[in-house]
Copies of this chain bind each other. A is one copy, B any other.
């Protein structure tokens, strides 16, 4: 017995007439007689009373009619959900990210994504770049915004470059370097530097040290805090010159940002796990590519 039988029974039970039901189903009437008989013999129960020129439902038939409706409803719900999932309209997006460089667009991006795919459950996890990579490799995240790490990434992880960000010096407006349009690295030889802790971003930290070495000096690291905000606070307090990517400069920060020369950059990438590449994630990536083309990720 399969769904065809139920469909046929349902038609007869609703029309209370074999011939009308056959007409509705666009088949000949004998097929209906047979189908209903087959259900009845399989269930060992009579479903329809066909006595005295009037078809009526037995109690068992009434129950089956109700159950039939439920089954078809579930069936259609199942087909809908599968289709939606395949289309990326339904599912789960577990997104990891690092705070400061994504701040300019993440909110807007997620708002648009939720607008387009309201049935996708979005989970957000803010972590350090290394922790994000680790979670991706373990499959705890389906995608993430992060920095590349120097070590070779775990296999199965793919990346999409979003932006190359310049490093610059963060100084108080009163600082002698504040008025320059750019700063050669060697001018920093005598300055106490404030750089993010190495464990919070191996790439940027090592890049800065390499640039100093290339300029012929060993930098004096005054502080290496864990949070980018703390770097800025030290600078505000006059503790030294901060070396930070330009994206940390929101308008409300009361510091000057002066590009360094020669420029060193750090990429911002989207990373995802090939094994967790669900349609919901694919649609998320599509949206990012679209915004990148239209230059909507960063204004201006």
User: Interface of A with B (CB < 8 Å)?
Assistant: 2-4, 43-47, 58-60, 62-64, 67-68, 70-71, 74-75, 77-79, 81-83, 85-87, 90-91, 278-280
CB of A88 to closest CB in B, whole Å: 9
CB of A63 to closest CB in B, whole Å: 5
Q: How far is the CA of A85 from the CA of B62 in the complex (A)?
A: 9
11 CB contacts below 8 A, A to B, read A2-B3, A3-B3, A43-B83, A45-B83, A45-B85, A45-B87, A59-B85, A59-B279, A62-B85, A64-B82, A71-B75
A77 neighbours in B (Cβ, 8 Å): 67
- Contact A71–B78 (Cβ < 8 Å): yes
A45 neighbours in B (Cβ, 8 Å): 82-83, 85-87
- Contact B44–A280 (Cβ < 8 Å): no
CB of A4 to closest CB in B, whole Å: 6
Closest to A63 in B: B85
Q: How far is the CA of A43 from the CA of B81 in the complex (A)?
A: 10
What 7 pairs between A and B have smallest CB-CB spacing? A45-B86, A67-B78, A60-B86, A59-B278, A2-B2, A2-B3, A60-B85
Closest to A61 in B: B82
A44 neighbours in B (Cβ, 8 Å): 83, 86
